[in-house]
Structure 1
Amino acid sequence: MNPSKCAFGVTSGKFPGFIVFQRGIAIEQAKIDAVLRMLEPRNIHELKSLQGKLAYLWRFISNLAGRCQLFSRLMKKDVPFQWDEAYDKVFKSIKPYLMKPPVLVAPVPGRPLILYIAAQERSVGILLAQKNVEGKDNALYYLSRTMTPNELKYSPIEKLCLALIFSIQKLKHYFQSHSIHLVSKANPLKYVVEKPVLLDRLARWHLQLHQFEITYVPQKAVNGQILDDFLADHPMPAEWELCDDLPDEDVFVIEVTPPWKMYFDALELYLLHQKEKYYLTPLH
């Protein structure tokens, strides 16, 4: 044991990008200042530097992937770097959020967790929270990511399913130790679990959902500032019509026929010179 690398009886600890103390987990102030001091990127190298600094903050910023999705256009090969008002608006929207960064808390054993999910046209966002003794939501974790080209073709309800599956894959240890109350615009559980025929990705999603205790709570039944902020960070396209009803569910009909029983006629066998003959008739 190296005494110079040991500390006992401390009230807080510093880790790469964040600080752990009694209240929870907070962003390291030096990481915040590094972003606040940055000017508008003038080339691809400065943009990569900005994204590298934001990588330390992804778990603290709601919908970071959705906010920075526009930057990916400038990262493509053979695309000239032209910083316009659209990019500047995204860049400036991040700084005010860092002026009042959230403090993430550790979950309390025995209490259910609340999972807020949202989907946009090109990204999905997740907020994991838990109510405290005062009945207010405390944020535990923020997640977000952009969609792949194939995922962009999903229907709105399937994009919500994608957000749910993404949260399970990244926060599986929380799902294993707590019951989950799922809050979203529509019910992705119904879309997957109650579908009459499961094929391809729906079958894979069903297997992952079946492992955990997840209960859907309609979004309109939940109130609170944390939900309002989450919805403001994940505006849903106005043209989307979210519906968890199963399309063409009435056409999936299984026809059950009565069983058949085999009869053997010994007299007929004798008359036909011991040639076997069978009759198949349905039971009544």
Structure 2
Amino acid sequence: MQIHIALEDQHKTTFTCPFGTFAYTRMPFGLCNALSMFQRCMMSIFSDLLQDCMEVFMDDFTVYADSFEACLNNLSKVLKRCIDTNLVLNFEKCHFMVTKGIVLGHLVSNKGIEVDKAKIDIITSLPNPTFVQEVRSFLGHEGFYRRFIKNFNKLALPLSTLLQKDVGFNFDQPCIEAFEELKNRLPSAPILQAPDWDLPFELMCDASNSALGAVLSQRVGADQPVHNHGPGLAKLQTTKKELLAIVFALDKFRSYLLGSKIIMFSDHAALRYLLTKPDTKPRLIRWMLLLQEFDLEIRDKKGAENSVADHLSKIERESEPMPIRDEFLDEQLLHIKTATPWFADICNYVATSQFPPEASLTYKEKIRSNAKYYIWDDPYLWRLCSDKIIRRYILDTETNSVLQFCHLAPGGGHYGSSRTARKVLD
């Protein structure tokens, strides 16, 4: 199909060759809007047939029916439309009256979605990688089938570590085992079922220190998996990990879940408290706003029962939590003394002009000479720095909260150590 380019836009496609300078008059491959434009044209041509007897993705389309006669009738409609719109088909790439076929790299049939055996045979015959680029290539090809492989992220962790910056290439025994295990999982990959839009979806989520786990299924007799996913995970609080697992799963499976009834299973009951908490941080607010788009019902399910998603995120099964018992009364806790801040001597001298008892003459002279740079404004101590900026001294217990605010807060930017330190001083 040739799509005309508007005359006023043709100069944007100018290219140079040994024979001169030229511009396209028809849409070529490689333009940033070419794919979306082509898809819109195809959907416009077959608009009345889509989701009734055919599906279109770019230059591939599939015509389907429940019987041979109905399929012939639908095929006749599609071919007539191609003739009317001057669409040219490549006969060598056409397959007629088949019960299964390769669609977007997967084998699709009435059983469900399977891996393409021809492609996985090539992957399973690969030798051990000898440098980082081969590891990256293997994970890219294997990752295309990650929806079929339970625990993919956990299995690929030793190989993913080799892709990190400033990590030497050492294809040791754990890497060899991970490489072989991933190759062996493909031939026995399960068949994923097509969703039944009349049934509610069940989404099982779980989170651990190393990964998130999510399984989308529907209950037809027994749970039928629609999709497995297990991405990596940064360090977060336990409750936030569980909520992040739900948010990620809803985003990943958005095309399935939007507008459908969803039953969410998670093993952390505090999630229900988070969803009704009036005072929370901006990140959690954004997550909760995302949840409002879905018809969501959260049910608590412990890891022992939620083993499908739990295996995607955990290496070991978590033990049952022990109940918290107060060992000390509040009156006893209030008598516990906290550590004296390191700048207490300066505070005392600036506020009361008193030196610490048993201080040496040298130490007293040092306090006296430095006191002119300090300002006491109860309960804070301030210092006039060399750059003429007045900064407040903080307690040791405040250090972590200041660093987290300057690094992890919405305006922090997640910078490195040097830029975060400058942000603290600013």
TM-score (norm 2): 0.50
**Using CA pairs below 8 Å that are at least 6 residues apart, which structure has the higher relative contact order?**
1
Kindly report which structure 2 residues correspond to 1:50-89, keeping only aligned pairs within 5 A, or say none: 50-89=138-177
Q: Deviations over 1:192-233 (max 9, x none)?
A: 31223132111101101112111122325996xxx5454334
- Unaligned residue ranges in structure 2 (runs of 5+): 1-87, 323-426
Q: Deviations over 1:25-54 (max 9, x none)?
A: 101012322232123222213212211221
Q: CA deviation at 1:83?
A: 1.2
Match of 1:186 in 2: 268
Higher mean displacement: 1-10 or 105-114:
1-10
Match of 2:101 in 1: 13
Structure 1 residues 232 and 79 mapped into 2: Cα distance closer, same or farther (>3 Å)?
A: closer
| 1:234 partnered with 2:313 | yes
Kindly report which structure 2 residues correspond to 1:39-188, keeping only aligned pairs within 5 A, or say none: 39-132=127-220, 135-147=221-233, 151-152=234-235, 154-187=236-269
Residue 12 of structure 1 contacts residue 20 of structure 1 at CA under 8 Å; is this kept in 2? Answer: yes
Q: Distance in 1 between matches of 2:102 and 2:283?
A: 41
Q: Distance in 2 between matches of 1:25 and 1:238?
A: 31
Structure 1 residues 229 and 95 mapped into 2: Cα distance closer, same or farther (>3 Å)?
A: farther
RMSD of the alignment, in Å? 2.6
Residue 117 of structure 1 contacts residue 163 of structure 1 at CA under 8 Å; is this kept in 2? Answer: yes
Structure 1 residues 23 and 177 mapped into 2: Cα distance closer, same or farther (>3 Å)?
A: farther
Residue 200 of structure 2 contacts residue 261 of structure 2 at CA under 8 Å; is this kept in 1? Answer: yes
* Corresponding letter in the other structure for 2:253: L
Q: Distance in 1 between matches of 2:319 and 2:245?
A: 16
Match of 1:207 in 2: 289
Match of 1:216 in 2: 298
* Corresponding letter in the other structure for 1:112: P
Residue 230 of structure 2 contacts residue 313 of structure 2 at CA under 8 Å; is this kept in 1? Answer: no
- Count of residues paired in the alignment: 234
Q: Distance in 2 between matches of 1:221 and 1:38?
A: 36
Residue 105 of structure 1 contacts residue 139 of structure 1 at CA under 8 Å; is this kept in 2? Answer: yes
Residue 36 of structure 1 contacts residue 95 of structure 1 at CA under 8 Å; is this kept in 2? Answer: yes
SS in 1 for 2:258: helix
Q: Deviations over 1:155-206 (max 9, x none)?
A: 1221111111111112112221321111122136414312231321111011
Q: Deviations over 1:103-132 (max 9, x none)?
A: 111111221111011212122121100111
Residue 58 of structure 1 contacts residue 64 of structure 1 at CA under 8 Å; is this kept in 2? Answer: yes
Structure 1 residues 204 and 78 mapped into 2: Cα distance closer, same or farther (>3 Å)?
A: closer
SS in 2 for 1:59: helix
Q: CA deviation at 1:67?
A: 2.2
Higher mean displacement: 107-116 or 27-36:
27-36
Q: Distance in 2 between matches of 1:19 and 1:206?
A: 37
Structure 1 residues 238 and 170 mapped into 2: Cα distance closer, same or farther (>3 Å)?
A: closer
**Structure of greater Rg:** 2
Q: Distance in 1 between matches of 2:272 and 2:200?
A: 20
Residue 106 of structure 2 contacts residue 115 of structure 2 at CA under 8 Å; is this kept in 1? Answer: yes
SS in 2 for 1:71: helix
- The alignment-based identity, stated in percent, is 28
Residue 118 of structure 1 contacts residue 234 of structure 1 at CA under 8 Å; is this kept in 2? Answer: yes
TM-score (norm 1): 0.73
Match of 1:260 in 2: none
Structure 1 residues 118 and 169 mapped into 2: Cα distance closer, same or farther (>3 Å)?
A: same
Residue 159 of structure 2 contacts residue 179 of structure 2 at CA under 8 Å; is this kept in 1? Answer: no
SS in 2 for 1:10: coil
Structure 1 residues 162 and 42 mapped into 2: Cα distance closer, same or farther (>3 Å)?
A: same
Residue 17 of structure 1 contacts residue 57 of structure 1 at CA under 8 Å; is this kept in 2? Answer: no
Residue 127 of structure 1 contacts residue 142 of structure 1 at CA under 8 Å; is this kept in 2? Answer: yes
Q: Distance in 1 between matches of 2:277 and 2:319?
A: 21
Q: CA deviation at 1:99?
A: 3.3
Q: Distance in 1 between matches of 2:120 and 2:269?
A: 37
